[in-house]
C-alpha cells in the first residue's frame, strides 16, 4: 500500500480535470459512508434510536420545554 505522502504526490501530478473527477468520486464515497452510518444509527438497535426513545419518554413524562 502506498503512503499518504506518495498518494498526495501522485494527486499533485494529476491534471485539473483528473483532480476534479477524483474530488467528485471522494465526495460521493463520503456521502455514501455517511448515509450508511445514519442508517445504522437509526436502525432498530442503533444508538440514534435509543436517543430518540429517551427523548420520547421524557416528552411523555412532561419533562420538556416547547421551543419558541
Question: What pLDDT score was predicted for residue 29?
Answer: 98
Question: What pLDDT score was predicted for residue 47?
Answer: 87
The pTM of this model reads 0.63
Q: Please state the domain extents for the chain.
A: 4-60
pLDDT tens string for the chain (68 positions)? 999 999 999 999 999 999 999 999 999 999 999 999 999 998 988 889 988 999 999 999 999 888 88
The DSSP symbol for 43 reads S
Question: What pLDDT score was predicted for residue 61?
Answer: 94
Asked if 18 and 12 touch (Cβ cutoff 8 Å), the reply is no
Question: What pLDDT score was predicted for residue 68?
Answer: 82
Amino acid at each position: 500500500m502506498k503512503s499518504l505522502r506518495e498518494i498526495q504526490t501522485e494527486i499533485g501530478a494529476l491534471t485539473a480535470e483528473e483532480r476534479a473527477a477524483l474530488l467528485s468520486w471522494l465526495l460521493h464515497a463520503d456521502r455514501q459512508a455517511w448515509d450508511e452510518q445514519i442508517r445504522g444509527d437509526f436502525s432498530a438497535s442503533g444508538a440514534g434510536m435509543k436517543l430518540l426513545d429517551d427523548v420520547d419518554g421524557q416528552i411523555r413524562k412532561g419533562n420538556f420545554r416547547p421551543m419558541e
